[in-house]
Every structure is written in C-alpha cells, then in structure tokens.
Structure 1
Amino acid sequence: MYVDDIRTAPDRGETAAGPDTAAGAGGAGPRPTPSTAWIDLARVAAMAAVVLIHAYSPLVTEVYTGQGSTSWWTSTALDAALRWCVPLFVMISGALLLGPRDEAAPDFYRKRWARIGVPLVVWTVAYLAWDMWRTGLTLSGAVEQAASGEPGIHLYFLYVIAGLYVFTPFLRTLAGAASRSALWWFTGAALAFGAADQALGLIDGVGGTTAVARFLPYVGYYVLGWLLFHGPTGTRPLRLGLTLLVTGSAAGAVGAGALAELAGEWGAGADYVFDFLSPAVIAASIGAFLVLREAGLRLASSDRWAAALVSRTARWAAAPSFGVYLVHVMVLFTLRDLFGMPAEGPWSVVAAAGYAVVVIAASLAVVEMIRRIPFARAVV
C-alpha cells in the first residue's frame, strides 16, 4: 500500500531512495539521502485517517444525520481535514521508490509482485465473496467490480499502486535524468490532468475507470512525493505545510458543504470537492506531507522520553498498518450490521469516533492472528 516495503520501516532495511544524481538534483551534484525517520509516523497517521473517513462517511452522506445539522457539518469538516490520507500513501511510495537504484526491472517486478500482487488477488476474491454473502452481489456484478478496479470501497488503492509499480523503473529514469524544474512541470501537469479528468466525470455519461487505468491520475502524486522528499526541511516548509493543510481542508469542507446545500443532498459536486484529485485535497495533501515529515523528523531527533515513546509506538504500529488497511472495512461493516450507528444527533459524531477506535484495535488483532498463520503473512 505505501510502498517500498510497508512491512518494514526503510531505516531498518534497504534504503529505497539513493543519493540524488547531478541532473536529478538540478545539477547540484550528489548529496546525502534524506532521512526516512518520519515515514512510520506518516503511515500510521494516514492509516488512522482512512479508518476515520470510513467511520464518518455515513454521517457526511446523510445516512445517519440530517443535512445542515451540527453533526453533519462537524462530520463534513472532519472528513475534509483527513482527505490527504490516500494521496499521502502515494507520495510516500514515490518518495521511497523513485530514487536511483542498481536494480533491474525484472528484479523489481518480482519483489513487488510478492508485496502487492498476492494481496491484490487474495483480497479482491475475499471481498467479492464476502459481498456476495453479505449483500447478495451477483457473479456478474462481482466481475464488473473487479474489472473496474474497485472490488471493495478501499481496494482500488491496490490497483493504483500496482499500476504505479509497473511504470516505476521508467519513472526512476525520469527522476534521475530530468532537472527538478522539469519534474515540477511534469508533476503539475499530471495533477492538473488528473483533476480535470475527475471534473469531467461530473458530466452525465462521461467517465468510468477500469482496473488497468486506475493508477493514471495518481502519477502526479507519485512523482510529487519524490520531489517533496528531496526538498528542504525546517521551519519554512513546516509553515507552508500548515498553511496548505488548513486552507485546503477548510476549502474542502466549505466547498463540499455549500454544494450539498445547493443541491439539497450530497451529490456529485460535493463528491468532486472531496475527491483525492480536487484542488482543495491536492493542497491539503502537500501540506500533510510537509507537516508530518517535519513532525516525524523532530520526534526522531528529540531526546525527550515522550518523543521516544511516540516514535516507538509509530514504528510498532506501522508494521501491521497495511493489513489494517485491508481488513478494516470488513470489521467496520460487520459492526455496523450488528449495531448500526449507536447514537443520533450530536452524539453520532462521538459514536463514529468510537467506532474508529474499536475498528483499529480489532483490525490490529485480526492482522496479528493472520501474521501468525503459516504462509498467510504474505497477504497482510
């Protein structure tokens, strides 16, 4: 899900991003590889954000709340403030994988198949079978969902990463040979095309994505992760990150909420504002990357016991986070099937947060059990 190897932190295994080449660094010559000490914290934060978004989504889309109510606006604002989660995963992937390596394409593909290909196949089958049992999904419907690259509400991400893996050896060449200014132009153009593609999908009869092409709109984020990873650190990037995160999140909440109010329901316009390639989410995602990177680096360099505790906790939680991503939807939907939303009105916001906590804890337990089964570890 988050790439190089989400099961081991890069600082404790191979270093995914090698030193900049003279061309890739804008002609500045080789320089040390940036620290990856912040990656665990970013992964855990993004994983928690994914679970929270899925926990709050029934409130945002008005399944459990009335439009315009305090709980609806609160849930919408919280959701908007967490939309950076999936783009952050993609950017982490690009940060760790696009640095130059002495690795042949066949070797790269062989290793990545084990890391993403096996889980993609296993969980696609598992979620479709579960959906057929749970909702009566037909076989033809299951085939259609698999062909679209969305056999589960979250599994599209596996198809995105798988597609990006296919082109990673070629994008490495681009990252190593092009100047930083050229890469910024490429990234800006790719993100603009992705945003335009999603916007055109608002027109009736236009759009549609297949499993094969699902990764294409995210190429910009992938290269952007490498650029930001090799960018400056310190107070100035932190301030920029906070500004982008706050303004992007606020714009997303106000924009989506206003469009929903105008339409009288949560519709395509609000969905677009919350899309991972909308301008508001792109800004917030860049901000989240910069903020979490700086926070992680400061924690790693601090000698305070609280910082050390947070770093150790993040390192521990990052290892099973891929598995949590994969299983948490089954856990969440099962809880909802059994108990519904155990509150209405303002308390529904608290109930959704409680669900998220329980889901994360239960998912961690499930993943740990799976990891102890012989030959099953490869799927989480």
Structure 2
Amino acid sequence: MSEVRPSIFYIDLLRFIAAIAVVVIHVLGPFRFLYGDISDSDWLAAMGYNSISRWAVPVFMMISGALLISDHKPFDCQRYLTRRLGKVVIPFVAWTLIYAFVGGFEGYSWSEAATVKLLLESTNEPVWYHLWFFYDFIPLYFVIPLLALVLYQMRSEHVKLLLSAWGLLTLMHLLKVETPLRQNIVLYSGYLVLGWYLFNRDNRPELKYWVVAGVVCLLLNAFGSAYLSFTDGKYRAFFMGYKSLNTVLIAGMLFVLAQCYAERIQGRLRDVVSIVSRYSLGIYLVHPLLLIPVRKLENGVYDFFGSNWLAIPLISLLVLIVALLVTMILAKLPFARRLVP
C-alpha cells in the first residue's frame, strides 16, 4: 500500500500475500472470540488461520520503508505532502465518510445521529475496524524522510545495532515490560527500517536463519495460542501482536523468502500477483463492505461449507475476487479513482 513505481516483482508478491492475509483475518474475525460457543474444530480453524496471518500489516509497513526510504530523489516537502502523503490521506478521509454513512444504518433505516456520532468519535477511534491502520500508518509518513536522512549517514553496523535495539523493544512489548518507548510510532517505525535494510542488501546468506526463526514463531503462534486459550478457557492473543518480536521474525522471513524466490513465479500466476498487488490498497479499503452481508448471514454462509477449515479460505477467496473487481471498476471512474490509488 505504497506509491506506485516501477514494479519490483518480489514486492508485488509481498503485497499479494499480505492482501490475502488481511482478508482472511477479517473473514475469520468473529469466530476468534467464540471459544466454547462453537465446536472446537471450527474455533481452532479460526484461531489457526489467524495465528499464521498476523504478519500482514507489518509486511505492508516494511514495503513502505523499503520503497520510500530508498527513494533517492531530492526531498521536496510540498511534493511529498501533496503526492505521497496525499495518496494515503485522501482515501482515508473519503472512506471514513463512506463507512460512517454505512455505520449509520440500523436495520433498514439510516440514522443521521449515528453517523454524526461515528464521525465525531473518529478523531480517536476509526469508524470501521480496518481503518485503524491509517491512524498508525499516516504518522509514519512524517517519520520516513527523517529516517532516510539519518539512515544514509549511518554505517551498516550502526543500522544493525539500531535494529537489534528495536528487536529488544518488540520483545519487551511482547512480555509487557513497561517502558516509555513502547509507543506505536516507535514500534512501527522499526518495520520501516527493517524493510529498507532488507531491501538494500543480499539476504541469501542469512535465509536459513530467517526461515528457522520464522517457522518457529509461526508454530509458537499457533500452538502457543491454542494452549493458552485451552488453559484459560477463552481466546488468548498473547502471541498475535503486530508489534511483538515473533511477528517481526515472521514478517522478516517472508520478506527474505520473497526476495530470494519470487522470480520463480512465471506465467499467468505472475500476472495475477501483479494485478492484486496493484490494487491492494483498494482491496483493503473495499472488502469490509462485502463482509457486511456475510456477517449478517453468518451461520448460513459459513455453515454452507460444513467446516470453518473450508469456509474461511473459500469465503476469503470470494471476497478477495469481488473486492478486486470493485476496486478495478472504481479505478476507472474519474470521480472515484482517487479513492483506490
């Protein structure tokens, strides 16, 4: 979800898998909290898919760091604010208005008061659940030029030290160790630096270490979350945080794997990856609208497939395809194309 530029296919692949993961997370969303209210199999399906998908937003942030910090054009504040930041702020404001209007519907009638209430509260809370991303992502656009200025003055060993300190901070966040540095803008800025660092080096010599660390963390997410939930008798998301060390290692692993192996993807699949990547921001913004009827008819839609192990990926695929088509249509309309840049 960053500015369009000449395609780098492994970046396209990362956007592609991250867009899929975001849709999956939102499709399974309600079921995470139904421990004990639905069958263990259906709950484990939701929890399992959730546990292996939590890297999606961090990967989007790493992509932004990789591309925007690596931009070597002379910094022009006006151009940066209007063209780069504007491409994120305009869709955010527009979709906040759209979702506030949608949120105003109570049954089959629309309440002006409900919409106004959502808009008034939007200074602190998103009007729709997925828009939280912009509350943390937009401030990073003010950090990126400063990071670029600093990082290019640093030696590689200093950057490694910076990333090590950030990694320790994400571990402290996971363990809930109190420190004033546990701020979203600090923790998410680390993903920008990590993305830039991995983007500008050959990571093949360290690939095996990333894979071992990432796979171990994926297993910890899945089995650790299940164990804690069964032990406490309710859904536990201790390992699921976007700003925790295990998520950092999983996101780093996927970035390096894509960097090393993306070029093996050829033919029609490569075209599909590129198309979904191009419209990934639009898919992110549009797909919750499609989930409204799915959630209204929750039991019927999911039960149709017999099991959440099938329902979640198949509904996710259908929602992704329809969101892609809607986004492609909006992108062709002069009055709407800025909503899905």
Q: Which residues of structure 2 form unaligned runs of 5+? A: none
Identity, % of aligned positions: 23
- What corresponds to 2:120 in structure 1? 143
Task: Report how far residue 237 of structure 1 moved.
Answer: 3.7
CA contact (8 A) 1:156 1:214 kept: no
- What corresponds to 2:277 in structure 1? 318
Q: Which residues of structure 1 form unaligned runs of 5+? A: 13-35, 300-306
Deviations 1:146-188 (A, max 9, x none): 2235332211222222111112111111111111222222233
Task: Report how far residue 112 of structure 1 moved.
Answer: 1.5
3-state secondary structure, aligned to 2:130: coil
| TM-score, normalization by structure 2 | 0.87
- What corresponds to 1:261 in structure 2? 230
3-state secondary structure, aligned to 1:90: helix
Deviations 1:277-333 (A, max 9, x none): 12222221111111122221343xxxxxxx232222211221111101101111112
- What corresponds to 2:313 in structure 1? 353
Q: Distance in 2 between matches of 1:278 and 1:337?
A: 33
Q: 1:231 aligns with which of 201, 226, 236?
A: 201
Deviations 1:191-221 (A, max 9, x none): 44355456549x9xx99x9xxx754420111
| TM-score, normalization by structure 1 | 0.79
CA contact (8 A) 2:46 2:308 kept: no
User: What's the C-alpha RMSD, in Å, of the aligned pairs?
Assistant: 2.8
- What corresponds to 1:290 in structure 2? 256
3-state secondary structure, aligned to 1:83: coil
CA contact (8 A) 1:41 1:292 kept: yes
Q: Distance in 2 between matches of 1:156 and 1:258?
A: 29
Q: Distance in 1 between matches of 2:115 and 2:187?
A: 30
- What corresponds to 2:303 in structure 1? 343
Q: Distance in 1 between matches of 2:185 and 2:289?
A: 24
Tell me how many residue pairs correspond in the alignment.
332
Q: Distance in 2 between matches of 1:166 and 1:119?
A: 18
Per the alignment, do residues 150 and 197 of structure 1 end up closer, same or farther by CA in structure 2, a change over 3 Å counting? farther
Per the alignment, do residues 71 and 87 of structure 1 end up closer, same or farther by CA in structure 2, a change over 3 Å counting? same
Q: Distance in 2 between matches of 1:87 and 1:342?
A: 28
Q: Distance in 1 between matches of 2:164 and 2:125?
A: 25
- What corresponds to 1:24 in structure 2? none
3-state secondary structure, aligned to 2:60: helix
Per the alignment, do residues 151 and 169 of structure 1 end up closer, same or farther by CA in structure 2, a change over 3 Å counting? same
Per the alignment, do residues 311 and 256 of structure 1 end up closer, same or farther by CA in structure 2, a change over 3 Å counting? same
Task: Report how far residue 245 of structure 1 moved.
Answer: 2.6
Deviations 1:119-169 (A, max 9, x none): 11111122222122258757445433x223533221122222211111211
3-state secondary structure, aligned to 1:276: coil
- What corresponds to 1:277 in structure 2? 243
Q: 2:45 aligns with which of 62, 67, 74?
A: 74
Query: Are 2:302 and 1:364 equivalent residues in the alignment?
Result: no
Q: Distance in 2 between matches of 1:155 and 1:167?
A: 20
Per the alignment, do residues 37 and 348 of structure 1 end up closer, same or farther by CA in structure 2, a change over 3 Å counting? closer
